[in-house]
Amino acid sequence: MDAIPAYERDATAATLETRVLRTGEAGGRPFVVLADTVFYPEGGGQPCDRGTINGVAVLDVQKRDGEIRHTLEAPLPEGPASLQLDWVRRFDHMQQHTGQHLLTAVAQDRFQWATTAFHLGTAVCDIEVAATALGPADLVRLEEAVAAEIRATRPIATRRVSPAAYGREAVRSRGLPEGHTGDIRLVEIAGVDLNTCGGTHLRHTGEIEVLKLLGTEPIRGGTRLFYVAGGRVRVRLGAHEARNAALRTLLGAPDEELAPVAQAKLEQLQAAERRLRKLEEDLVALQAETLAARPGSLVEAHLEGREMAFLQQLARRILAGDPARAVFLTSQVEGQGLFVLAGGEASALDIPACGKAVAGILGARGGGSGRTFQGKAPHLAAREEALARLRG
């Protein structure tokens, strides 16, 4: 491979004609090593590029043992190779990564918030800054300062320097990778930042388009700051607008009233749920009283449409009044059969054994411990057979 690969020589190159020098397999997947490549290998917080080589999908790109390995969907032979980069993915990464350089520089130089970590995610990116807390006003000031540098369309350039020359540069860096030797690559945003970086970057800050700060969270004594840049802002705004349009229709309210109307609806729902729980408790008490009045040591009933929790509460209520009895309750909910078998402390019924027998008769999955056994069955066609087993 050329001393400087194509992705570094020209970050805007989306195609390349080269050669497959070596083939291999790792982790059950074929890979190739090329004479040159436009595919950026994962590193420095930036994900790898995707695309195709001779029409075969590139699944991963990594530096291994001094070479760049392109993991493929299918094997390729040695020989000519036509590379096609997934440009949409690459440009997105360039916008997010360049946005991070600018955000880091502005945060440190204007506000003394040094960046300690960076993560380029699939939907949202973040940096960690050495600040105990950032309030809404801080985020507005930082975002406005970054926006001013984007509007300034400051040129961005890369260059390599020797270790000796590197020592004379005013570089903003958390240090070189362990074991690094040879020249050092610098990325410079004119008048704003000079940093060590091996990633792909835009030609000027104007290509970032826009950078939006999304929020913060505390982490390791500092603050994690979430952001999106460029096309991701448009995608996110489009999703917000579509969601707001749906909410406007559902709630019958304009955008500025969506939150208070939704809050009012939630409070109404919570009040309705409280009333429903009270009614269900009253119904359990009434039903328990009715069933307990029936003769016999086994109380049984089928309660259509009742959930498992209702059956459990009802069984407990009946047995609390007479621990010498046993209870067998069933229900059918959305085509599925439910059953609860329970016995009081003084009941002679062997609940674990009888529960397994009932489950077998009903073709149910179930289990329990001690004085309760419950399960779910495809149907309750054999309910009478199960009941006969309990009475027998």
pLDDT of the residue at 343:
94
Q: According to CATH, what is the number of the domain 292-391?
A: 3.10.310.40
pLDDT of the residue at 370:
83
Q: Could you confirm whether domain 91-237 is CATH 3.50.50.60?
A: no
The CA distance from 76 to 20, in Å, is 8
> What is the DSSP secondary-structure string of 158-188?
EEEE-HHHHTTS--B-S-PPTT--S-EEEEE
Residues of the chain with pLDDT under 50: none
pLDDT of the residue at 1:
55
pLDDT of the residue at 255:
95
Note the pLDDT tens digit of each residue in 299-349: 999 999 999 999 999 999 999 999 999 999 999 999 999 999 999 999 999
pLDDT of the residue at 173:
73
pLDDT of the residue at 181:
73
pLDDT of the residue at 168:
87
Helix (H, G, I), strand (E, B) or coil at 93: helix
Same CATH topology for 6-85 and 91-237: the answer is no
The CA distance from 163 to 176, in Å, is 11
Q: Quick one: which of 321, 322, 329 has its CA closest to 372?
A: 329
Instruction: Write down the domain spans for the chain.
Output: 6-85, 91-237, 292-391
- Cβ atoms of residues 18 and 34 within 8 Å: yes
| Sheet with 298-302, side-by-side order of all strands | 298-302, 326-333, 336-343, 372-377, 365-369
> What is the DSSP secondary-structure string of 225-246?
EEEEETHHHHHHHHHHHHHHHH
In CATH terms, the fold of domain 6-85 is: Elongation Factor Tu (Ef-tu); domain 3 (2.40.30)
Place of tokens 């009253």: 282
The answer to whether the predicted template modeling score (pTM) of the entire model surpasses 0.75 is: yes
